[in-house]
Amino acid sequence: MTTTVQKKICMLGGFSVGKTSLVKRFVQSIFSESYQTTVGVKIDKKTVTLGDKVVHLILWDLAGEDDMSSLRMSYLRGSAGYVLVADGTRPATLETALSLRRRVEADCGPLPFALLLNKYDLREQWAVSDGDLEALRGSGCRVRSSSARTGEGVEDAFTDLATRVTH
Amino acid sequence: MEDLPAQVADRLRALTFADRAVAYLYIDDALALIGAGGCLEAYGLGALSLGAPAVEQAAFLEGLLPLVETPWLFPSVELAKGRVADLHFWRDQAGVWVLLLDVTSERGTAQRMQQKAYDMTLLQEREAALNRRLEAANTALLATQRELEAAHAELARWNKTLEERVAAQLGELERMSRLKRFLAPSLAELIVSSGDESILESHRRDIAALFCDMRGFTAFAESAEPEEVLELLRDYHATLVPLIQSFEGTLDRFAGDGLMVFFNDPLPCPNPAERAVRLAVAMRDAVAALAVAWRRRGHQIGFGVGIAQGFATLGQIGFEGRFDYSAIGTVVNTAARLSDAAADGQILVTSRVAGAVGDLAELSDIGALAIKGLSRSLPASNVVALKSGRHQKIVPLNRQTR
pLDDT tens-digit profile of B271-300?
Answer: 999 999 999 999 999 999 999 988 888 888
Indicate whether B401 pLDDT > 60.
no
Whether residues A8 and B62 touch (CB distance < 8 A) is answered with yes
Yes or no: say if B243 and B282 are a contact pair by the CB < 8 Å rule.
yes
Cα nearest neighbour of B77 on chain A: A41
B29/B91 Cα distance (integer angstroms): 10
Instruction: Name the segment(s) of chain B with CATH classification 3.30.70.1230.
Output: 201-386
Instruction: Name the segment(s) of chain B with CATH classification 3.30.450.20.
Output: 6-102
H and E: helices and strands count for chain A? 4, 6
Size of interface A-B (CB pairs under 8 A): 70
Across the interface, of B55, B110, B118, the residue whose CB is closest to A16 is B118
B3/B131 Cα distance (integer angstroms): 65
Least confident of B81-85, B94-98, B133-137, B389-393: B389-393
- A47 — pLDDT class (breaks 50, 70, 90): very high
Beta strand B72-78 pairing with B322-328: unpaired
**Measured between beta carbons, which residues in chain B are less than 8 angstroms from residue A92?**
125
Residue B100 confidence (pLDDT): 95
Cα nearest neighbour of A92 on chain B: B125
- B70 — pLDDT class (breaks 50, 70, 90): confident
Min CA distance, B144 vs chain A (Å)? 24
The residue with greater pLDDT, A145 or B67, is A145
β-strand partners of B255: B258
Amino acid residing at B34: I
Whether residues A41 and B125 touch (CB distance < 8 A) is answered with no
> Which residues of chain A are at the B interface, by a Cβ-Cβ cutoff of 8 Å?
6-8, 15-16, 35-43, 45, 56, 58, 63-64, 66, 68, 72, 74-75, 77-80, 90, 92, 127
C-alpha separations of B184 from A147, B115, B252 in Å: 80, 93, 11
Phi, psi for residue B99 in degrees, rounded to 5: -105, 125
The CA R_g of chain B, rounded to the nearest whole Å, is 59
Kindly report the number of other CB atoms within 10 A of residue B128's CB atom: 10
Whether residues B118 and A90 touch (CB distance < 8 A) is answered with no
Can the peptide bond before residue B71 be classed as cis, meaning omega within 30 degrees of 0?
yes
Whether residues A43 and B121 touch (CB distance < 8 A) is answered with no
Residue B80 confidence (pLDDT): 81
Residue A131 confidence (pLDDT): 85
CATH superfamily, with its number, for domain B6-102: PAS domain (3.30.450.20)
The residue with greater pLDDT, A32 or A47, is A47
Phi, psi for residue B9 in degrees, rounded to 5: -60, -40
- A135 — pLDDT class (breaks 50, 70, 90): confident
Phi, psi for residue B27 in degrees, rounded to 5: -125, 130
E strand segments, B257-341: 258-263, 302-319, 322-328
Whether residues A15 and B118 touch (CB distance < 8 A) is answered with yes
Indicate whether A37 pLDDT > 70.
yes
Residue B58 confidence (pLDDT): 94
> Which residues of chain B are at the A interface, by a Cβ-Cβ cutoff of 8 Å?
55-56, 59-60, 62-64, 72-79, 84, 107, 110-111, 114-115, 117-119, 121-122, 125, 129
Least confident of A101-115, B29-43, B169-183, B340-354: B169-183
Whether residues A6 and B62 touch (CB distance < 8 A) is answered with yes
β-strand partners of B348: B306, B382
Share of chain B above pLDDT 90, in %: 52
B390/B140 Cα distance (integer angstroms): 75
User: At A141, is the secondary structure helix, strand, or coil?
Assistant: coil
B352/A141 Cα distance (integer angstroms): 102
What is the arithmetic mean of pLDDT over B175-191? 66
The residue with greater pLDDT, B264 or B200, is B264
**Measured between beta carbons, which residues in chain B are less than 8 angstroms from residue A35?**
115, 118-119
Whether residues B63 and A79 touch (CB distance < 8 A) is answered with yes
- A114 — pLDDT class (breaks 50, 70, 90): very high
Residue B181 confidence (pLDDT): 64
- pLDDT (tens digit per residue) in B197-243: 677 788 999 999 999 999 998 888 888 888 989 999 999 999 999 99
B136/B125 Cα distance (integer angstroms): 16
- B269 — pLDDT class (breaks 50, 70, 90): confident
Beta strand B378-386 pairing with B347-350: antiparallel
- Considering only the top CATH level, what class is B201-386? alpha beta
Q: Which ranges of chain A would DSSP assign to H, the alpha helix?
A: 19-28, 91-108, 130-138, 154-165
**Measured between beta carbons, which residues in chain B are less than 8 angstroms from residue A45?**
59
Indicate whether B119 pLDDT > 80.
yes
Q: Which of B88, B86, B93 is nearest to B70 (CA)?
A: B88
**DSSP code for B276:** H
Yes or no: say if B37 and B24 are a contact pair by the CB < 8 Å rule.
yes
ipTM: 0.90
- B10 — pLDDT class (breaks 50, 70, 90): confident
The CA R_g of chain A, rounded to the nearest whole Å, is 15
Whether residues B63 and A80 touch (CB distance < 8 A) is answered with yes
Query: What fold characterizes domain A3-165?
Result: Rossmann fold (3.40.50)
The residue with greater pLDDT, A82 or B327, is A82
Q: Which of A129, A148, A32, A38 is nearest to A85 (CA)?
A: A148
B164/B162 Cα distance (integer angstroms): 5
H and E: helices and strands count for chain B? 9, 13
Cα nearest neighbour of B56 on chain A: A6
A14/A133 Cα distance (integer angstroms): 18
Cα nearest neighbour of A17 on chain B: B122
What is the arithmetic mean of pLDDT over A150-156? 95
Name, in order, each residue with C-beta under 8 angstroms of A3's C-beta and a sequence gap of 6 or more.
A52, A53, A54
Whether residues A40 and B107 touch (CB distance < 8 A) is answered with yes
- pLDDT (tens digit per residue) in B349-376: 999 999 999 999 999 999 998 877 777 8
User: At A123, is the secondary structure helix, strand, or coil?
Assistant: helix
Domain locations in chain A?
3-165
**Measured between beta carbons, which residues in chain B are less than 8 angstroms from residue A9?**
none
- pLDDT (tens digit per residue) in B186-200: 567 767 776 676 777
Cα nearest neighbour of A45 on chain B: B59
Residue B293 confidence (pLDDT): 87
B227/B240 Cα distance (integer angstroms): 20
Across the interface, of A8, A39, A80, the residue whose CB is closest to B111 is A39
Residue B323 confidence (pLDDT): 67
Q: Which of B298, B336, B288, B306 is nearest to B219 (CA)?
A: B298
